[in-house]
Amino acid sequence: MDRRLTTIVAADMVRYSRLMAASVQIATNAETLELIEQDELYGTGCGWVNVSLLASCVLTTGCQLWTLDKRLAQQSIRYGIRFQFS
């Protein structure tokens, strides 16, 4: 492996380790269901996986959600967690 490629791989490994070190709160099924019921998310067009992602972001301080799914994006705006490009 040439030196430049080795440097790139090492930099990617550092970024990956930082990403893995980030503490993300994974929403349980109960927490996801509670969010659906509490905020009346039924009928919004968001499925279980989308609402679970939403719940996890809501539970994790500083988490932002980046999605191309229009309905999930609407909900992320509602909760103030939509990722904004700078």
Predicted confidence (pLDDT) per residue in 30-45, tens digit: 999 999 999 999 999 9
Q: What is the spatial distance between Cα 29 and Cα 43, in angstroms, rounded to a whole number?
A: 18
Q: Which residues of 49-82 are buried (b: 16+ CB within 10 A; e: fewer)?
A: ebbbbbbbbbebeebebebeeeebeebbeeeebb
Model-level pTM? Answer: 0.72
Domain boundaries, the chain: 26-78
Cβ-contact 54, 75 below 8 angstroms: yes
- The ranges of the chain with pLDDT < 70 are 1-22
Q: What is the pLDDT of residue 24?
A: 81
Q: What is the pLDDT of residue 4?
A: 58
Q: What is the pLDDT of residue 6?
A: 54
Residues paired with residue 82 on neighbouring β-strands, in sequence order? 65
